[in-house]
Structure 1
Amino acid sequence: MHRPAVAEAVMAAELAAVRPDLLSRFTAELPGARAAVLTRLWRGLAYDPLPWVAGRERGPEELTLRLRDGRSLRGPVPDPYATDAYVTVVRLDGEPYDDPARLMTALGVPHGSGLAAELDHSAVSSALSRAGRPAGTGREWPTEDWAWERRVVDGHPYHPNCRSRPGFSAADQLAYAPEHGPVVELRLIPVPAERCLVSGCWPAELRDGGRVLVPVHPWQAEHVLKQRGGPGPAARPLMSLRTLELPGGQHVKTSLSARLTSSVRDISVGSVAAAAALSAFGETVAAGTDGLLHITRTLGAVTAGSPDLAALLRESPRVYAAAGERVVPVAALPTTGLPRDPAWSARFARLALTVGLRLLERGIALEAHGQNLLVVLSASGEPVRLVYRDLADIRVSPALFGAQLPEGMPERILTDDVTALRRKLFGSLVAGALAATAGSGRALAAALADAVRQVPDTPHLAALTGEPLPAKALTLMRLSPGTPGDRWTDLPNPLR
């Protein structure tokens, strides 16, 4: 078999220096981590519209990709909604590959070398995440936001770069990644108020006379800003890594100019300028859902004129939980064991589709993937309400909304293209959050079949049940660095 040389060796050497007790567990987790990344990559190779794939031939037990250069790539019949690592080896012209980075190198496609390096990092970072996972996960339900979010050990359920963190050493990941449960000491960088753009209400405790104190991630302070700043609050990282839970429960989203999964995680000046308007719009949207949906408010946002030095303060999703209830990120639901009950999965799907389709009728498409979407569980575990956070990537149709949009709404989220609206919702909610919660195409089909019988019949529902399911072509996007924006593919509809 083909084994990587660089990333594993580097990670092992770094662990030997900073956490030698994790080294043997890291090594033991490597095969499973490689398979997890290879499974995600195989999904992309099987379904993304890749220009160098000439055709696909599906047999009873194997899928064959015919490449335009005459070679063939064979692997298991894919389940585009599976979350288990079921792909352990694929064969390129008969040669077996169990390592995704080596496979991408061997394919020799345009921009493949860059993706190969990211896949290499994704696999070793996944192994480190698994090595550091807490024992006894699932036995007791936590109350803190960060404790729920550290349970999502494997990262994005379908992205081959699920744990790619180039620029982060082993020590960085242990110090800052949520799955390791660290406490992160934020830095406060003072900026003269006249140099800052503030949206909403920036709190007095983050001001110093005529200066605004901008919370900064310590990695950003050291590697990008090159200034230490003053001591800030001790916070707990959440799933996105650059968003952290502050003492008292509020969340702070910081700039982090590193490529994590697909994107560089900075905060644009435009998003700060629009923060208050989007937050007010979110309250209007939530008010029209009969209490089935809450949208967390942005309390304040600030930028010093650069995406490298900005921050947003948001309320915790926990403020929408009553006594005895839990607010759980959808990405963490599989750790509760609840989705193993098909009837529970159907009830959750019905709640999510009811809210998502109702908003879509009003011209609002949420990007309701497992990180942005949370569910309020009753004391007995029933899904009773939804909470949504981070409105930056929603889409809104001015024509369909039928009401006056607030001033300051960012132009990039506005569209009257129904296809774009459906892709945004169905690709994130159904092909993303619901699929990953179900864990397989068969389980997703069962949950959806029960749910769609109990939601109002609309043209959007007809499109959901009768057309292929849209999903972001994540592998194609990473192989298309010169093409901005989302690229899409069609997945087999589990209801057909």
Structure 2
Amino acid sequence: MDRVDLLPPPTDTAVARRADAYAAAPLLNCLLREVAEALPETGERRVYRLPGGRLLSVLGERRPAEPEVSTADGWRRVGHTELVKLVAEELARHTGLSNHELPAEMIDSRDAVAALLTARARAAAPGARYLRSEQCLVTGHPYHPAPKARGGGPVAAWLPYAPEAHARFPLVLLGLREDCLVEEGDTSALDALGEAPPGYRLLPAHPWQLDLVGCAEAFDDGRLIRLGTTGFEAWPTAAIRTVYVPERDLFLKFSLDVRITNDIRRLWRHDLLKLRRTDEAVAKAFAESPGSAAWLSDRGYRTADFAFEELAVLVRDGLRGRVLPGATPLLAAALVEGFEGSPLDSTERPTAWWEGYLGAVVPPVLAAFGDHGVVLEAHLQNTLVAVDADGTPVQALFRDAEGVKLLPDVRRAAGWERLVYCLVVNHLCEVAAALAERHPGFDPWPAARRELARHDLPEAAALLTAPTLPGKTNLLLRWTGADGADARYLPLPNPLAGT
């Protein structure tokens, strides 16, 4: 595989400065969206009033930078450590609650970014554009207070498995005694990864997860045996615990007992037990809908009855035969973050590009909801957009049955709210902003309005006149200790209604 040339290693000072900037942007986005009041614009810097009355100014809007606080002596620059302290004070005042865990996560996230920047400068990026897109997210979620936190563990424990550091590694192969095996769906791809002795079945494991959970007793009594590692390497994707094996065109998703963004990333029993029903409903919706959109099916899972969640592995469809001939799939989140080879960097006709993007992404999501009662979690990390040789979007591919909701398991209104947050706020708003940033004066919302108006769906029509959109409050969710799946929203101005 061709490699991208290595950059000169940055200095410690340069890394610290860049890490501060990377970590401050999403934290500021959360603070300014969730608890601050924007004051009238008076210049290059935007000024906000915080709950305690303090004034905070930032440079830029999509990725705020260089925060300053107002003092009796004028504006004073705030570094990342002081910003964390300021956020904690304002949230305690705003909510009446204290939280010692989240500030530590914010610092951990910033320190992780510093480690990633250092590692990236010394690592060879993958030559394939798809893999580069999966491994480019140094900022990560642009509206999370600690998007790169890795559970507070030592860097040496997680860095070898970090997609942002261009990691690739063999998987651990375990033999699981047959009387302990639990599986559902099509897991035949796992048996092709190696050879298990009589009485055992192959169970691949993520090496980081195996370090976390151990399972010493099962190794001692023979329920598990070590069979070495795979003869090929797996590439971690943006999801970290999901890897892609290009040689086998196979995605595998593992449990990972580490908090990443809002959740401990374990394959939970309740999600696994409903996996087949959910995946089959989505696959049926895509099969019966017109167009070229594709669903990467979660075919099945395999695990051990004594470590059902801890050692679970999920088998997901690969890309071959699902991506249109001649097209290149790219992670949607990478278009927002930016990476070498991004089509946004060479787009000369933003309107045509954006219309192609909307035409690929929006119809399958609305059809799944309106015709089949399927609520796709079509956010930036769950969506791949395939582009043709000119970089024009021609197809969307969606993944992750774990995040899908089905009607009437959830109320229609709640399902639609979730869909709008994932598709419009988390996804389209971010890609639109990244495109407009490269093409000053470009207005993405008339085309988005036209695309939504084409669909005979009452909720879509109402969306065009709704004054607000639902914005997820990740900062307040984490500060108040809410369950990661317990989404709460605040109203954001709807750019569709203003077009």
Q: What's the TM-score bracket when you normalise by the shorter of the two chains? A: 0.7 to 0.9
Alignment of 1:342-357 (within 5 A): 342-343=350-351, 344-357=353-366
Amino acid at match of 1:473: T
Tell me the equivalent position of 1:113. Answer: 100
The 8 Å contact of residues 237 and 244 in structure 1, kept in 2 or not, is answered as yes
CA shift, 1:106, in A, is: 4.5
Q: Which moved more, 1:454-463 or 1:440-449?
A: 440-449
The correspondence for 2:447, drawn from 450, 458, 478, is: 450
Tell me the equivalent position of 1:392. Answer: 402
Amino acid at match of 1:125: A
**Corresponding position: 1:103 with 2:103:** no
Does the C-alpha gap of structure 1 residues 369 and 117 become closer, same or farther in structure 2, counting only changes over 3 Å?
A: same
CA distance in 2, matches of 1:47, 1:72: 16
CA shift, 1:242, in A, is: 0.9
Does the C-alpha gap of structure 1 residues 456 and 297 become closer, same or farther in structure 2, counting only changes over 3 Å?
A: closer
The 8 Å contact of residues 298 and 401 in structure 2, kept in 1 or not, is answered as no
Gaps spanning 5+ residues in structure 1: where? 1-20, 399-413
Q: Spell out, residue by residue over 1:310-367, the C-alpha distance to the aligned partner (whole angstroms, 9 max, x if none).
A: 1101111343124321111111234344335422123212332222222232232211
**Corresponding position: 1:366 with 2:376:** yes
CA shift, 1:39, in A, is: 2.4
Q: Secondary structure at the match of 1:446?
A: coil
Amino acid at match of 1:98: G
Tell me the equivalent position of 1:64. Answer: 48
CA distance in 1, matches of 2:392, 2:317: 24
Alignment of 1:246-261 (within 5 A): 246=245, 247-261=247-261
How many residue pairs get aligned? The number is 446
The 8 Å contact of residues 254 and 267 in structure 2, kept in 1 or not, is answered as yes
Q: Spell out, residue by residue over 1:15-55, the C-alpha distance to the aligned partner (whole angstroms, 9 max, x if none).
A: xxxxxx95x5453132233223222222222222x5xx7xx
CA shift, 1:375, in A, is: 1.2
Does the C-alpha gap of structure 1 residues 440 and 321 become closer, same or farther in structure 2, counting only changes over 3 Å?
A: closer
Tell me the equivalent position of 1:232. Answer: 229
CA distance in 2, matches of 1:375, 1:104: 36
The correspondence for 1:88, drawn from 45, 63, 66, is: 66
The 8 Å contact of residues 369 and 375 in structure 2, kept in 1 or not, is answered as yes
Does the C-alpha gap of structure 1 residues 31 and 134 become closer, same or farther in structure 2, counting only changes over 3 Å?
A: closer
CA shift, 1:368, in A, is: 0.8
The 8 Å contact of residues 249 and 319 in structure 2, kept in 1 or not, is answered as no
The 8 Å contact of residues 69 and 77 in structure 2, kept in 1 or not, is answered as yes
Amino acid at match of 1:352: V
Tell me the equivalent position of 1:404. Answer: none
CA shift, 1:290, in A, is: 1.0
Does the C-alpha gap of structure 1 residues 326 and 469 become closer, same or farther in structure 2, counting only changes over 3 Å?
A: same
The 8 Å contact of residues 350 and 451 in structure 1, kept in 2 or not, is answered as no
**Corresponding position: 1:149 with 2:134:** yes
Does the C-alpha gap of structure 1 residues 256 and 446 become closer, same or farther in structure 2, counting only changes over 3 Å?
A: same
Q: Secondary structure at the match of 1:453?
A: helix
**Corresponding position: 1:493 with 2:498:** no
The 8 Å contact of residues 152 and 239 in structure 1, kept in 2 or not, is answered as yes
The 8 Å contact of residues 278 and 404 in structure 2, kept in 1 or not, is answered as no
Alignment of 1:61-460 (within 5 A): 61=42, 62-67=46-51, 70-76=52-58, 79=61, 82=62, 84=63, 86-91=64-69, 96-99=77-80, 100-107=83-90, 109=92, 110-133=97-120, 142=128, 145-203=130-188, 204-205=191-192, 208-227=197-216, 229-233=226-230, 234-246=233-245, 247-305=247-305, 306-333=308-335, 334-335=338-339, 336-339=341-344, 341=347, 342-343=350-351, 344-362=353-371, 363-398=373-408, 414-418=409-413, 420-439=414-433, 446-454=443-451, 455-456=454-455, 458-460=457-459
Tell me the equivalent position of 2:223. Answer: none
Q: Secondary structure at the match of 1:421?
A: helix
Does the C-alpha gap of structure 1 residues 435 and 133 become closer, same or farther in structure 2, counting only changes over 3 Å?
A: farther
CA distance in 1, matches of 2:88, 2:279: 44
Q: Secondary structure at the match of 1:309?
A: coil
CA shift, 1:114, in A, is: 1.6
Amino acid at match of 1:238: T
Q: Secondary structure at the match of 1:386?
A: strand
Q: Spell out, residue by residue over 1:362-408, the C-alpha distance to the aligned partner (whole angstroms, 9 max, x if none).
A: 2322111111111121222221111111111122223xxxxxxxxxx
CA shift, 1:236, in A, is: 1.4
Q: Secondary structure at the match of 1:132?
A: helix
CA distance in 2, matches of 1:327, 1:337: 11
Q: Secondary structure at the match of 1:184?
A: coil
The 8 Å contact of residues 375 and 385 in structure 1, kept in 2 or not, is answered as yes
Amino acid at match of 1:339: L
Tell me the equivalent position of 2:22. Answer: 36
Q: Which moved more, 1:236-245 or 1:89-98?
A: 89-98
Does the C-alpha gap of structure 1 residues 381 and 177 become closer, same or farther in structure 2, counting only changes over 3 Å?
A: same
Does the C-alpha gap of structure 1 residues 184 and 111 become closer, same or farther in structure 2, counting only changes over 3 Å?
A: farther
CA distance in 2, matches of 1:302, 1:93: 59
The root-mean-square deviation of aligned C-alpha atoms, in Å, is 3.0
The 8 Å contact of residues 286 and 368 in structure 2, kept in 1 or not, is answered as no
CA shift, 1:258, in A, is: 0.7
The 8 Å contact of residues 59 and 66 in structure 2, kept in 1 or not, is answered as no
Gaps spanning 5+ residues in structure 2: where? 1-7, 220-225
Amino acid at match of 1:415: V
CA shift, 1:57, in A, is: 5.0
Q: Spell out, residue by residue over 1:239-296, the C-alpha distance to the aligned partner (whole angstroms, 9 max, x if none).
A: 1111111231201111110111221111112322233333322220111221332111
CA shift, 1:73, in A, is: 3.9
Does the C-alpha gap of structure 1 residues 319 and 98 become closer, same or farther in structure 2, counting only changes over 3 Å?
A: farther
Tell me the equivalent position of 1:463. Answer: 462
Amino acid at match of 1:89: P
CA shift, 1:433, in A, is: 1.9
TM-score, normalized by length of structure 2?
Answer: 0.81
CA distance in 1, matches of 2:449, 2:68: 36
Does the C-alpha gap of structure 1 residues 182 and 358 become closer, same or farther in structure 2, counting only changes over 3 Å?
A: same
CA shift, 1:108, in A, is: 6.7
CA shift, 1:474, in A, is: 0.9
The 8 Å contact of residues 441 and 494 in structure 1, kept in 2 or not, is answered as no
CA distance in 2, matches of 1:170, 1:27: 19
CA shift, 1:438, in A, is: 2.8
